[in-house]
Amino acid sequence: MVIGRDGYAEQRFDARLDYLDLVCARSRPCDALPGNASGTWKRLVDRLREHPDPEVTLHQVLTLREPAEAVLGREVVAAAHAYLDGAPAPLRRLARLASAAERQAQAERYYERERPMAPFQPTDVFPTEAVAAQEWCINWPTPRHSPPRPPADG
C-alpha cells in the first residue's frame, strides 16, 4: 500500500505474478515444473480467455494467483500446470467457492481444533453468531439474485 500526496492510502491494482515465481523458486517440487510460475499463469489466463471454463473464471484465477501462504502458492502453480496439460480437476477444486454454511463449519472446526483464542471460546467474545462474527469472509461473497443495477430502459 502506498500513501498518496494527499495523505490517503492508494490501492493499486497489480497482478503481481512475481509472487508466484518467488514462492515457486523456494519449493523443489514447484521449481522442478517446466518454465516459470508467472509464465504458466499467463498461459492459463490466455487459455481461459480463449476457451472459457464455467468452473474456473478469470476472476477466480486472479484471486488464486496471490498466495497468502507458500503452500497455496505451490498448489495453484501445480494446478495451473495440470490444467494446461489437460487435467482440470485440481484447479477446479481450488477455484470452487464453498457455501457460507460450509465455510462456517470449516471455521468452527478450526476454532475447536486450534483454539487460537484460548483460553477464551469465540462465544465469550462474540455472543451471537460466534465464529461468523469474527470471520467476515464466511458470508462473502453473498449471492446476488438480481443485477447490481437495473437494466437500462429500452
Q: Can you tell me which residue has the cell 464453498?
A: 98
Half-sphere exposure of 43 (CA within 13 A, CB side): 15
Determine the Cα–Cα distance for residues 57 and 55; give it in Å rounded to an integer.
Answer: 6
Q: Same domain, yes or no, for 50 and 79?
A: yes
Indicate the burial class of 4 (C-beta count within 10 angstroms; 0-12, 13-18, 19 or more). Answer: exposed
> Which domain covers residue 134, as residue numbers?
100-139
Q: Same domain, yes or no, for 91 and 105?
A: no
Q: Which of 5-14, 51-60, 126-135 has the highest mean pLDDT?
A: 51-60
Q: Same domain, yes or no, for 83 and 110?
A: no
For 102-152, how does the pLDDT look when each residue is reduced to its tens digit (9 = 90+)?
Answer: 777 877 887 788 887 788 877 777 665 656 556 656 665 555 455 555 556
SS3 state at 9: strand
Q: Same domain, yes or no, for 34 and 79?
A: yes
Q: Same domain, yes or no, for 81 and 104?
A: no
For 58-83, how does the pLDDT look when each residue is reduced to its tens digit (9 = 90+)?
Answer: 888 887 776 556 667 788 899 999 99
* Domains held by the chain: number: 2
Residue 148 lies in a domain: no
Per residue, what are the HEC states of 11-56?
CCCCCCCHHHHHHHHCCHHHHCCCCCHHHHHHHHHHHHHHCCECCE
Q: Same domain, yes or no, for 28 and 90?
A: yes
Q: Same domain, yes or no, for 23 and 83?
A: yes
pTM: 0.59
Q: Same domain, yes or no, for 36 and 68?
A: yes
